[in-house]
Amino acid sequence: MTTLALSAPRFTGFAQLRQDAPLFTTLGIAMALSLLPTLAALQLDDRLFLGESIWVKPIKFQIALTIYLLTLAFYARWLPLAMRQARLFRIYCGIVAAAIIAEVLWISGAAALGTASHFNDSSPVWAALYGFMGGAAVTLTSAALVSGIAIWRNRASGPPDALRLAVALGLVLTFVLTVPVAYYMSANTGHFVGTPADWDRGLPLMGWSRSVGDLRVAHFLATHALHGIPLAGLIAVLILPVQAARRAVLLASAGYAALVTATFVQALAGQPFL
Amino acid sequence: MPTDSLFQSANTLALIGWIVLALSPLSPRWSDRISGLAIPLVLSAGYTALILAFWSRAPGGFDSLPNVMQLFTFPEIALAGWVHYLAFDLLIGAWIARMARAEGIHHLLVLPLLALTFLFGPAGYLAFTLLRASRNLRAPLMTEPRT
């Protein structure tokens, strides 16, 4: 057989992403372009929600979902070709895409109307929407789980050994860590544990509380397992022999899960992240 | 909200678009890109942002004339309505320039039609369509330039 040259995955532009995951690539680009009107609205709108512009949250979700979609499209090159072409898988991708679109429409629609999206129980309709969107959130996150398992099982056309482990674990852990953290957060009345102090404007960019516990820290880290662990795997593969690289990936994954758990426990104890 | 300065910027932008259309024989391709795409896109983004930011706060609605009049008492929504005119009138102006070019209608004839569309949008569109029909009764059935 051919010798598998150990090469770092190379970014070959949108053409390859589109070929490997046409729907997620198109939706990812559309999601990025949809920032144009919301960024403009951010400039024009003086309404505040929890002390920051009402448009900050939709914009955060648009950015996060753009990154998520393009990341899934990037990893799609390591899914078995037969799976990518299977009708059932394409239907599944369509359902995930619909869940992502619904999520963004719900969050930016609530912003436009000047009301809350998450934790909104002001009317039966908003409460029902919030419940429904929980299902949509799990659905869209399940794409990471499905990709992770498929890439792990794909010895034929997946990435080299330790990197395959890292990509698969990163994707699977994204689902496994995000869902319980997000579920716990949604079952409460808000993402803060405690009442933020008056001076607390939150961490720059992320907006995490600096005076009380903020469950969004663990949620953020959990959703980015699919970046952090593969990145650790890539470094391990480049500098370590195969067996050591595998161990390093397992260690990094355990460390990452511990980090998410620690930030979760920290927030539950009412302690700010920084 | 700086509605006045946004109004001025939008007007200036639209005016540039119309001047580019008036000079379109110099560079049909670039006048199309500027007046038929770029400027309407910028105006549309501004319109969308105004609607996202202010629609839910405005009084009135679309369902009756008094409600529409109420809607336009809200400055940001009146501004959005104005930007809507500017964006879509310019798009129609660019379409008129494109169609006229394709059908060999002399630009000196197009200029007053563009002016009419600039001032009173639908009247300009009507006049252009009547002109096409008077040259060839079936011409208005063609809604895009022949390739």
**Could you read off the pLDDT of A204-239 as tens digits, one per residue?**
878 888 888 899 999 999 999 999 999 999 999 999
Contacts of B76 in chain A (CB under 8 A): 44
Q: Which tokens in the block code for residue B72?
A: 């336009």
- Residue B123's alpha-carbon distances to B18, B77, B106, B117, B119, in angstroms, are 16, 24, 20, 6, 9
Maximum separation of any 2 CA atoms in chain B, in Å: 50
On whether any CB of chain A is under 8 Å from the CB of B23, the answer is: no
Q: Is it the case that residue A2 has pLDDT exceeding 60? A: no
- Burial annotation A94-130 (CB, 10 A radius, 16+ → b, else e): eebbebbbbbbebbbebbbeeebbbebeeeeebeebb
Q: What is the mean pLDDT of residues B80-103?
A: 96
Length of chain A: 274
Q: Do A114 and B57 lie within an 8 Å CB cutoff?
A: yes
Q: Is it the case that residue A136 has pLDDT exceeding 90? A: yes
Nearest CA in chain B to A112: B52
Q: How many whole angstroms separate alpha carbon B47 and alpha carbon B81?
A: 8
* DSSP annotation of A53: E
More confident residue, A124 or A72: A72
Using pLDDT thresholds of 50, 70 and 90, give the confidence band for residue A58: very high
A-B contacts at Cβ under 8 angstroms: 40
Nearest CA in chain B to A40: B49
- Give me the amino acid identity at A33: L
Chain A interface mutation, best of B52, B76, B77, highest count of A Cβ atoms under 10 Å:
B52
Q: What is the mean pLDDT of residues B6-32?
A: 95
More confident residue, B141 or B81: B81
Q: Is it the case that residue B1 has pLDDT exceeding 60? A: no
pLDDT of residue A48: 86
Q: Is it the case that residue A155 has pLDDT exceeding 90? A: no
Kindly report the average pLDDT of chain A as a whole number: 89
pLDDT of residue B147: 63
Q: Which tokens in the block code for residue A102?
A: 């619904």
Q: What is the mean pLDDT of residues B127-146?
A: 86
Q: Which tokens in the block code for residue B21?
A: 């259309």
Q: Is it the case that residue A4 has pLDDT exceeding 70? A: no
On whether any CB of chain B is under 8 Å from the CB of A4, the answer is: no
* Alpha helical stretches, state H, chain A: 14-20, 22-33, 35-44, 56-75, 81-85, 87-112, 124-153, 161-187, 216-223, 225-239, 242-268
Q: How many whole angstroms separate alpha carbon A252 and alpha carbon B77?
A: 53
